Structure 1
Amino acid sequence: MQRFKYIDLFAGIGGFHAMLDHAGGRAVYVSEIDAAARTTYEHNWVDPLPAAQQPALNTDITLATPERGEVGVPEHDVLAAGFPCQPFSKSGFQRGMDETRGTLFWNIARILEARRPSVVLLENVRNLAGPRHRHEWDVIIKTLREIGYRVSSTPSVFSPHFLPPSLGGTPQVRDRVFILGTYVGPTRALRETDVAPTVMRGPVDDWSVHDWDAEWVLDEDSTIDHLERYKLSADEVRWIDAWDDLNRSIRSATGLRLPGFPLWADYWQPQRSFDDLEVDALPKWKSDFIRKNIRFYEDNKATIDAWRRRHREFADFPASRRKLEWQAQDHESLWDTVMHLRPSGIRAKAPTYLPALVAITQTSIIGSRRRRITPHEAARLQGLPRSFGFANKREAQSYKQVGNGVAVGAAWHVFRTHVERDRDDLPPRLVKCVLSAEPNPSPDALSSLALDRERALARERSRGAAPSQAS
């Protein structure tokens, strides 16, 4: 089957590449300005190819898209870009293309205007579709329509945790905005504006997001080089053990789990110890939390006082480690949860799915493993295959590259859905490639336990039984 051609702009480490190659595409042009990310991209997606099949590599898209003269980008069928969102001029809602000038979206528009690929696939942060960026959103949609792309005015917001394992989902909550357009010419694009979003935000094929298990992206500890780098320090274990003892003690004494509001141990004192006027003078959110902590202490005074006597070292913990945010429902131990050591405190969550990987954040701690996830596991959380590797040796850089990336399964789902819906206006070769591809773009990103669990749940549903809790 003849492959379609695509270009990968603001390419990062290759999330779009992974799913577009799976879809039957061949990269003919790649642009990424960050040298470390570009090296990782080349290591995984370019270097393994024969020289004749390697895409052209670019470091700065602005150099290939001059205002006048030829655009230095080859012909292609699909343009994919995880572009940065920059504020546009608000000096009047003029012609979209003009207003984007000076932003990196203008460079994308310039390529679209010159090459007119059949499909444009753009990805951005959720906030692009929020009220603070309404102007930017309107300019982007207006510009795409003026160039000739039929697009929806309503953003497609999607996250990989809404997809079941068999369709490329992963246990990561990562809402992103996807903009998909089909080239139909300016006349039709400006007329055919009543277009539904490509996908709706929500679970696919009856998948329940509570059936995820963070363990499914993990490697066996015995296979991890330098495992000690990811293990918790003695201090971190001591902090968690102290809080875990309190958690168990409260449960034993009351039969109740910890409350959901932030626990601030420095305010566990009797009400008479505080000046009501001083508390009232604080921002309302803070005064509310303080009062809730005072009541929590008074309701559990004997248990907390006994716990303090057992953990006199607690008073010397850093201020941020004397705070706990319990979001783990009925799990009995902190060591059964996923944790994050945040400036606002230790946050414990149920191990069903992980928060979005971002460039700068607290790396998730898997309580059952007593360690942080590795860069390789973070890449699998993005839906990248087990064979994916980093070209650099700096772990902080690897985490950053993954955090800036595109979730492969989510991108594949919205792209395939768009091609299937618009198949009558797309080249048959492109449609055939995409729709004949396997439904899962990275079948080895998760352990086999994920598919086993999905099949078991499907059998339970078919028998009309209520699904059991995720293992």
Structure 2
Amino acid sequence: MKDFKFVDLFCGIGGFHLALSQLGGECVFASDIDPDCRMVYFDNFGIEPYGDITEVDEKTIPEHDLLCGGFPCQSFSKAGNRKGIHDSRGTLFFDILRIVKHHNPKYILLENVRNLAGHDGGNTWKIIHYNLKHLGYNVSPEPIIYSPHYLGVPQHRERVFIACVRKDIGDLPFLPVKPEKYKVSNALSVISQDLTNSRKYKISKSEESIIELWNEFIQNIKGDLPGFPIWADYFDIDIPKEEFMLYPKWKQSFIIKNKQLFNANSKFLSRWLI
């Protein structure tokens, strides 16, 4: 599909916009509640996003072929309270639905955190899937999980994508799953140093050293990149059991995983410890 129109909800600084415009799309409406994001979005694309989507009348949004949005994730995130669809931020999904119901776009592409896939025992996903299907869309039967490192970009950041095609348009195309093998590129290779305002944005020598250290990590680590935060402070220390049991379960789990990571890779990780 070329020369299509799209709306960019919860647009942030424009990740969806950048990709879709490179595919021939034209953004006809954008929205984000964060004023700083709106400012950066305007600097990037010359479009001033609207603010709070709950205050936008769906009838004022221009017609479009594709609706996309990374709706707020705090209510589904492992770092949030995980109330999901019952949180006011989770219910912003229903603002997407009212816009979809009025405009009936050909395609919908939504994004959220990895935890959405299993939140509330899968019930949150079922609610989202049911409502989109009820509005006349073929919806991906399972959450589509991708991470930049699947495509060679040196970042481990799994996200759930929800792809929808209006039923009169046809079925969903085949969507490839996680590749069996992938090669992660050098982090510096994906950072542009050719910038107009290079003095403001250019990577410093100390930042370059940090990136090189990360490159060493991803090239030497055994197995997949960790899906948990890397806490070097816990690599090689013994925590008294009484103190350990006072930590919340999620922190206990991360500490154990970091110790296992260190033990499996101590030959080169030990050089990181001072």
Is TM > 0.5 for Structure 1 vs Structure 2?
yes
Q: In which range does the TM-score fall when normalised by the shorter chain? A: 0.5 to 0.7
Q: Decide whether the 8 Å contact of 1:154 with 1:196 is kept in 2.
A: no
Cα offset, 1:174, TM superposition: 1.3
Q: How many residues align?
A: 231
Equivalents in 1 of 2:15, 2:201: separation in Å? 26
Q: Decide whether the 8 Å contact of 2:42 with 2:49 is kept in 1.
A: no
1:215 to 2:198 alignment = no
Equivalents in 1 of 2:90, 2:202: separation in Å? 47
Which residue does 2:68 correspond to in 1? Answer: 80
Of 117, 127, 132, the residue aligned with 2:105 is 117
1:105 to 2:93 alignment = yes
RMSD: 4.4
Equivalents in 1 of 2:14, 2:174: separation in Å? 25
Change (3 A) 1:150 1:108: same
Of 124, 127, 132, the residue aligned with 1:144 is 132
Change (3 A) 1:220 1:17: closer
Q: 1:59 is aligned with what amino acid?
A: G
Higher relative contact order (CA 8 A, sep 6+): 1
TM-score of the pair, normalised by structure 2: 0.68
1:63 to 2:55 alignment = yes
Note the 1:63-462 alignment, pairs <5 A.
63-65=55-57, 71-85=59-73, 86=75, 87-89=84-86, 103-132=91-120, 134-164=122-152, 170-184=153-167, 198-202=175-179, 206-209=181-184, 212-218=185-191, 225=199, 262-264=235-237, 279=240, 281=242, 283=244, 331=268, 334=271
Change (3 A) 1:333 1:283: closer
Change (3 A) 1:75 1:213: same
1:200 alignment partner, SS class: coil
Which residue does 1:23 correspond to in 2? Answer: 23
Unmatched tracts of structure 1, length 5 or more: 48-55, 91-99, 165-169, 241-260, 268-277, 293-323, 340-344, 347-471
Which residue does 2:81 correspond to in 1? Answer: none
Q: Decide whether the 8 Å contact of 1:83 with 1:124 is kept in 2.
A: yes
- Cα distance per residue 1:4-23 (max 9 Å; x no partner): 10000000011100111011
2:149 alignment partner, SS class: helix
Which residue does 1:11 correspond to in 2? Answer: 11
Equivalents in 2 of 1:101, 1:262: separation in Å? 36
Q: Decide whether the 8 Å contact of 1:11 with 1:82 is kept in 2.
A: yes
Cα offset, 1:176, TM superposition: 0.4
Q: 2:190 is aligned with what amino acid?
A: V
Equivalents in 2 of 1:228, 1:73: separation in Å? 38
- Cα distance per residue 1:104-144 (max 9 Å; x no partner): 00110001111011100000000000243622211100000
Change (3 A) 1:16 1:328: farther
TM-score of the pair, normalised by structure 1: 0.41
Equivalents in 2 of 1:82, 1:331: separation in Å? 38
- Cα distance per residue 1:71-104 (max 9 Å; x no partner): 32111000010001442349xxxxxxxxx99810
1:43 to 2:39 alignment = no
2:111 alignment partner, SS class: strand
Q: Decide whether the 8 Å contact of 2:2 with 2:23 is kept in 1.
A: no
Equivalents in 2 of 1:148, 1:32: separation in Å? 27
Change (3 A) 1:133 1:108: farther
- Cα distance per residue 1:389-435 (max 9 Å; x no partner): xxxxxxxxxxxxxxxxxxxxxxxxxxxxxxxxxxxxxxxxxxxxxxx
Cα offset, 1:61, TM superposition: 1.0
Equivalents in 1 of 2:63, 2:31: separation in Å? 15
Q: Decide whether the 8 Å contact of 1:155 with 1:197 is kept in 2.
A: no
2:164 alignment partner, SS class: strand
Equivalents in 2 of 1:224, 1:106: separation in Å? 42
Unmatched tracts of structure 2, length 5 or more: 76-83, 214-233, 246-251
Change (3 A) 1:43 1:263: same
Identical pairs, percent: 36
Which residue does 2:33 correspond to in 1? Answer: 33
Q: Decide whether the 8 Å contact of 2:72 with 2:89 is kept in 1.
A: no
